[in-house]
Amino acid sequence: MDYSSLEKLCCDIGAKYSLNEPLGFHTSMKVGGECDILVHAGSEYVVREVVSLCKKENIPYFVLGKGSNVLVSGKGYRGCIILLSQDFSAVDVCDGKITAQAGASLKSVCMAALENGLTGLEFAYGIPGSVGGALYMNAGAYGGEMKDIVKSCRYVDENGEYQEMNADEMQLSYRHSYFSGKKCVITSVTMELQKGDKTEIKAKMDELMQKRRDKQPLEFPSCGSTFKRPEGYFAAALIEECGLKGYTVGGAQVSEKHSGFVINRNNASFDDIMALVEHIKRTVKEQKGVELECEMLILE
């Protein structure tokens, strides 16, 4: 595939790019081959221009934020990766609302809420993702979800046009949104919070972070929870009941600390991880009659 027009565009608009970029550097699982071209999107304008050209030139593209919920094939990605860079992470607070650019980390948004005495976002403290990614999959933890606090967002649609959307149009449900599976690129998210006590907010954030440290294998690369929660069950409990805690394929392992996590224990390959995931799904189906569905996005 010819990327000369995309390279020229990046030069014209001052966007950094690299060819044959290893994607393991940009994902929390630390696995993945090279993409053909990676563009650092430091502004909404860069996103729009790149998406518009990709559409015109029929170049496949995929958006990465923190890469905390994406597993990339060892073959990499034949197309353009649009990486929401550190330059695209501004956070603004006004009248109980926080507007964050899509590349902002959830941690930085949570800290902004704390500094301004705003409550409602504590559940997200410690989720290792970006704001754009969190809205894309309606991320949640400890009884809270993005749908509880999101008011609106801006995005670039598949045609490279700026759009805005209110929360009631976003089809937010369990690990799903209007944007799931679409080629739109979320560029900023506005959240509406409530006034609270800074001491209580900080205490709640610290409590939830300690729970994460105690129960989750944060010391190993992973995509977080590997499977969605099956209706009426908990994936981790099903996996443990099937005797799979600690089960290993190559360098991939079902975490001995939390069975809901498949971790990169020792230089796991994509094939190691996928073989382990398929073994888990097959075993749980055979023993429990429950179909597990991956929560992580698999990019092949």
Catalytic residue set: 175, 225, 295
Whether the Cβ atoms of residue 222 and residue 100 lie closer than 8 Å to each other: no
Q: How far apart are CA 215 and CA 239, in angstroms?
A: 16
**What sign has the CA pseudo-torsion 92, 133, 25, 9?**
negative
Give me the amino acid identity at 51: V
Residue that has been written with the tokens 């393991």 in this structure = 24
Whether the Cβ atoms of residue 242 and residue 287 lie closer than 8 Å to each other: yes
Among 47, 43, 68, 24, smallest CA distance to 222 is for 68
Residue that has been written with the tokens 């959830």 in this structure = 106
Between CA 125 and CA 133, with CA 127 as vertex, the angle to 5 degrees is 120
284: three-class secondary structure by DSSP: helix
Q: How far apart are CA 205 and CA 171, in angstroms?
A: 28
Q: How far apart are CA 288 and CA 282, in angstroms?
A: 10
